[in-house]
Each structure stands twice: as C-alpha cells, then as structure tokens.
A and B are shown apart, each in its own frame.
Chain A
C-alpha cells in the first residue's frame, strides 16, 4: 500500500468546473471518505485518481510516483464501482482471475490468490456461479475481492453501499472497515451518506460545488464545522444570525443575547446542535431562552421537539428517549426554557 497525494487538482468540463484546487495527503493505510451531495465533484476526483478522467491541472502521486499521466491500466488501483460492474459472462472465479491474468501472475499462484481473496469475503463456495445468480450483497463482495486480488496500491470505492438495503448496508460497511484495517489498505471511500462517512472513515473530506469545504477527523468536522455548509450537511444545526456585541456576548437580530466562548469578533452567525439543547422548566446556565413547545415528534430513540422562542425563532431540539427523561416530555403549548452551554455554540463568520 502507499500514500496518495493530490496537489491542486482541478477538472473542468467545458465551462463548468467540476473540481477545483483539491489538495490532500492520504497516509498509508488510512481510510478517507469523500462526502458531499451529488454533483459536488467527489466521484470526479475518485475517477481522476483511478485514471478514468484526465485532470485539467494539478498532480496525483501514489507513493512517490507521479501518476498524473499514467494510463488507467498501469496505475494499479483497485476500484469497486457503484453498480459493482462484474463481468456478466464470467464466473465469480473468472472475474477475480481477470486482474491476476492481466498482471501476469503465473497460473499456479493465481489459483491460490483467488482462493485467498474469496475466503476473505466469504465467497469461496460460490466460485463457479455467474454474477446473475448472486444477490446484491454477494455481488458486492465479489467486486471487493476482484479489486483486492491484484494487490492494488490504493483501494477506491465509489458509493459501494448505495444499492444495498439499509440493514445489509451497515453490515457490509463494517466488513469493509474490518478488511481495510486488517490489510492496512490506503482507501478512498466516496459517499453521499453522512452517517456512512462518519462511521467508516479515519478522516473525511466534505465537498461542495467542486471545492473541499473541510478535511478532518469525523468528530472535529461534526463538533467544529468550518462553515455553514459543513454544519448543515453533517447533521442539523440551529442558526442564529446577529453580531458579537462584546467578547463572550452575541446578540441576535431579534435582540436575544447569547453567551459564547472563544474569540470570534467577526462572527455573524452562531450555531447550536439540536441534541445539545436541554429543555427545562427552570432556566439553567447563562443561555436559557424562554419559549413554548410548538410540536413534538416521537422518533423511537429520540424525541424531536420544536420550540418557539419568545424572541420569535423556531428552534429544533433532540431529546434522548431515556428513562431519566420520562415519557414524552413537553406537550405542545408547555412553557419551557431552552438551555445550552456557551461551549456548545459554534461561531461562523460568513
């Protein structure tokens, strides 16, 4: 395996810019997720790394080698496609053998390696089946085995779970992660599913409109989003617009005063995650805003409550459905205080 470095990568299709100024270092054995809405440039970037798309500018390095102008078949990347792209006229074993044959692995060793990768994904028994005889999850595992059989320098996954149903998705996700850790695979995982990205990655890169918005550890991206896009794409956030009146004090457009932490004199927006808000009858702490419960939705493990503050804003809160909280708290119309710590406020200056 090898590290991957992208340096000011850019792709332009005619007048539209699909990816611009993408620089990223992916360490040996690291799993990085590219996360973003469709059309954000994540798949284009992956295809540039695999060699299917030629970058307009910038360089791609795998290990120490500059592969920017190396054709696809000499890059030695292992890619798993969204629709699996298995060869329909070949059996499972022949699908896996194809890459080994292309890499001129002698046939005795080829056979051993096919057995090994198929064991790894628990598909050895179905070696003589054709792809059309397999379920979606099994096809997925064959696609993974086929990509890994050639011992690629980088493992690339393009929305590999999007065609599976919800339960299978989390199962396969965990399998991929376990395999990736065990083999120390340098992996790039493209997805539009934030939960998937949070669960699987060492680091993630959030993309929007062809630009990287933020790169970092999942918890950092969630706790300290760099901008409003990241904040809203990863989970939800209540946003208050206003300005910093004095250090530690933010006043919203509706004249609501919030206690904040950190330096951010230029901040024009303050965000609070819904699950960081506590609803209480009595004001707690410096940020305790009176309001009336507007609606309350029971979501099983969570209760989603909307509160209309006296100052006019409608905010969302997520309360755990815990024993301590009792049964459905706060019926609509109840007067409550929405309380949160100054440290839970995220400042944005956009």
Chain B
C-alpha cells in the first residue's frame, strides 16, 4: 500500500509546532494543580488549593484590580489618541509625516525596561518642576502604559484606513454630509474591526506588562505582574501557576468573545 509520507510528515510537523508553542501554557496549567509546595516531578498528588490561595491573597487581588483599571484606562485613552493620530498620518500630508509615524511606533522598538526607566527619570524631573507626585500614582502609570497602547492602535488603524476607498467618504460628502458627519457615520464604522482589535491588544499589552511598570508603581498600587514577581522573590509554590492560569483563562475568554463580533484574523 502506498503511504503518503509527505502528508504524514507535514501533519506531524504542524502538531509538533503547536505543542511547542502551547507547551508553556499546558505546563503552567498543569503545575497549578500540583500538591507539593516545592515543585517536584512527578507530583505526589493534585489539588485545587493553590487557586483558593491565589484568589484570596490580597496582593494578587489588589494587583489584579489595579492592572484591570490601568489596562482599561490606558486602552481607552490610547485608542482614542491612536485613532486620531492614524487619521492625521494617513489623511494629511504634512512636513514630518513619516518621522511622526516612526515616533509613534517607536515604543515597540525600545525595550520596555529602558522606556520604563526613562519615563521614571522624566517623571522625577516633572515632579521637581510641578511640585506634585507622579511616580506611584494611577495617572502616571496610565500615561506610561499609553506608550504601549498607542503604537498598537496607530499600526492597526492606519493600516485599515489605508485600505479604505476614499471615494466612500466622498460619496457621503456628495450626498450632503459635512466632514464630521461623513467621518462619524461612514468612515468610523468601516474602521470598527481595526478599532476593536486595537482595543483588545492594547488592553492585553498593558495588562501583562511588567518591565515598564516596575519603577512606576507605588506602595499599595502594584499591578498583577509585579505582585507575581514580588511573590516569586520569596516563594516558589504553585500559587503563581494558579494566578497565571486564571490570567490565561481570562484573556482567552476576552479574545474569543471579541472574535465573535470582529474576525480578528482579518485585521491583524
């Protein structure tokens, strides 16, 4: 019998690649059920106890709430500003158009630990100048996180905007709509998939960010990734795995729900 080797190898390769990519997630979730306090393989038993601990530990709960607030605010503000910036870059030919575009994307190119340190130093200068606290405040953290969310929005929305037929907005103008109405009623709805995707990714990059926030959080205002790091400095039990598993589940649900409304694969 003829065996289609090529097809078999192809399938095997695909399966292995998926396993390779998913293995950290699989292991994290599995580890979170290990009974032993010190990671040990094979585990002596399985338990839900670490989840109970993770969901009641005030450091994690507060961190989660802080992260949620910061990510939501940074995503909303970043998306609004990012859409406006994309509009300016795509629609208007002005001197310095390209440098502005590069500048807006640059936070993606700089290691966030460097960006975080830079922002920290800038905040210190500003604090001296304005005589007010910025480091360790929600506002300071949200503004810093907008460095993460704006580039995503600018990229996704400007790509989508470039793909639009300018005649469609012109048709609206021709039919009697002024510039603002034509934008709100015709152009913005056409950008909806890109804006939804940008909001989602903005939220995720802000929520999971560790490096940028390190120097900027204040006492009692740590984000979840920092709470995890601080916990890790002293203990190495599966609580962390449980926290991570909850986080993965949450982001997964957000992704799936969003995908129901907007086909993310068509935008990104």
List A residues at the B interface (Cβ < 8 Å): 50, 52, 71-74, 76-79, 81-83, 85-89, 98-99, 102-103, 146-147, 150
Chain B nearest CB from A150 CB (Å) reads 6
**What count of chain B residues pass the 8 Å CB interface test?**
19
Do the beta carbons of B170 and A73 come within 8 Å of each other?
Answer: no
Report whether B176 and A76 are in contact in the complex, using a CB–CB cutoff of 8 Å: yes
Binary flags per residue of B30-69, CB closer than 8 Å to A gives 1, else 0: 0000000000000000000000000000000000000000
Q: Taking the complex as formed, is B256 at the interface, i.e. its CB lies under 8 A from any CB of chain A?
A: no
CB <8 Å contact, B176 and A102: yes
Verify B171–A87 contact, CB threshold 8 A. Answer: yes
Q: A77, B176: Cβ atoms under 8 Å? A: no
Contact A85 B171 (CB under 8 A): yes
With a cutoff of 8 Å between Cβ atoms, the chain B residues found around residue A50 in the complex are 174
In the complex, the chain B residue whose C-beta lies closest to that of A146 is B175
CB distance from B186 to the nearest CB of A (A): 6
Q: Does B80 contact A (CB under 8 A)?
A: no
Segment 158-189 of B: residues with Cβ below 8 Å from A: 165, 167-168, 170-178, 181-182, 185-186, 189
Given contacts A73-B178, A76-B176, A99-B176, contact A81 B190 (CB under 8 A): no
B176 close to A85 (CB less than 8 A): no
Q: For B175, what are the chain A residues with a Cβ–Cβ distance below 8 Å?
A: 73, 98-99, 102, 146-147, 150
Decide if A85 touches B170 in the complex (CB within 8 Å).
Answer: yes
Interface pair A72/B190, CB less than 8 Å apart: no
Q: List 16 A-B contacts (CB under 8 A).
A: A52-B170, A72-B173, A73-B176, A73-B178, A79-B174, A85-B170, A87-B168, A87-B186, A89-B192, A98-B172, A98-B175, A98-B185, A102-B175, A102-B176, A147-B174, A150-B176
Q: Which residues of A contact B176 (CB under 8 A)?
A: 73-74, 76, 99, 102-103, 150
A88→B175 CA distance, assembly (Å): 16
Contacts of B192 on A, CB cut-off 8 Å?
A: 89
Q: What residues on B are CB-neighbors of A87 within 8 Å?
A: 168, 171-172, 186
Q: How far is the CA of A45 from the CA of B192 in the complex (A)?
A: 34
B171 touches A73 (CB 8 A): no
Residues of A within 8 A of B177 (CB): 73, 98, 102
Known interface pairs A88-B190, A102-B181; A83-B165 also in contact (CB < 8 Å): yes
CA distance A75 to B175 in the complex (A): 9
Within 8 Å by CB of B189, from A81, A89, A99, lies A89
Q: Name the residue on A nearest B171 (C-beta).
A: A85
